[in-house]
Amino acid sequence: MSAQATVFGVILNDHRSMQRLQAQFTAAPYLTPPRAPVLHIKPSNTLAREGAVVVLPSGAEQLEIGASLGLVIGRLSSHLSLENALAAVSAYVIMADLSLPHAQYYRPAIRERCFDGACPISPKIALSPELPQPEQLSIRSYVNDKLVETRNLADLVRSASELLRDVTEFMRLDSNDILHLGVLFQGAQARVGDAVRIVIDHLGELNFTLVASSEEKT
């Protein structure tokens, strides 16, 4: 991954989360569900590698795992069509868009989503004709080897192609940028001392552990 690459996260891209938040969508301040992809950025300080030890912010004891599939962009991409969108993807990554638990989506969650190490990412997974389409994959999250969450990417509001088309309609994605397919609202959590493993069949897994802020990062 290029040092200059940008990692974009997505929320509200699965039907389960949309249904849970339906009542809030008709309340102030917006009064209507979002019509465009809802994005956020995971800045460079958040990026961590396979096997990372993630130090939680001071005072925090747990976080949401935010397991997702990331699309690595292979070329400068703007105004992609539905038909050619996936041709712009050069690889996949397994990701954890870590965040401190929060219920409010109507303000920027900078502290909650942008602490150091808040985005462990697997090595790039090369594409091949044998791999299923993203919407045919499922993601399993384990905490201390116990299954805590399963999600099927067939539940996406926007498929990978649709998300790429809609995002590049209003912004450019550069080579080596990463766009993930979304995280569940108030999904599975892990605590200080836990070992987390995210598995996507056919692609592999991502592992990391959580420690308190008073402990040394190794």
CB atoms within 10 A of CB 205: 14
- Radius of gyration for the chain, computed over Cα atoms and rounded to the nearest angstrom: 17
Residue 42: CATH number of its domain: 3.90.850.10
Residue whose structure tokens are 């993630």: 54
Q: How far apart are CA 12 and CA 38, in angstroms?
A: 7
217 in any annotated domain: no
Q: Which residue range(s) make up the domain with 125?
A: 7-211
In which region does residue 144 sit, left (phi positive, over 0), alpha (psi from -120 to 50) or beta (all else)? left
Question: Are the CB atoms for 196 and 208 separated by under 8 Å?
Answer: yes
Q: How confident is the model at residue 62 (pLDDT cuts 50, 70, 90)?
A: very high
44 in any annotated domain: yes
Q: Which pLDDT belongs to residue 176?
A: 96
94 in any annotated domain: yes
116 in any annotated domain: yes
Question: What confidence tens digit (pLDDT) does each residue in 173-217 have?
Answer: 999 999 999 999 999 999 999 999 999 999 999 999 999 987 544
105 in any annotated domain: yes
Which DSSP symbol is given to 101?
Answer: -
Q: How many domains does the chain have?
A: 1
166 in any annotated domain: yes
2 in any annotated domain: no
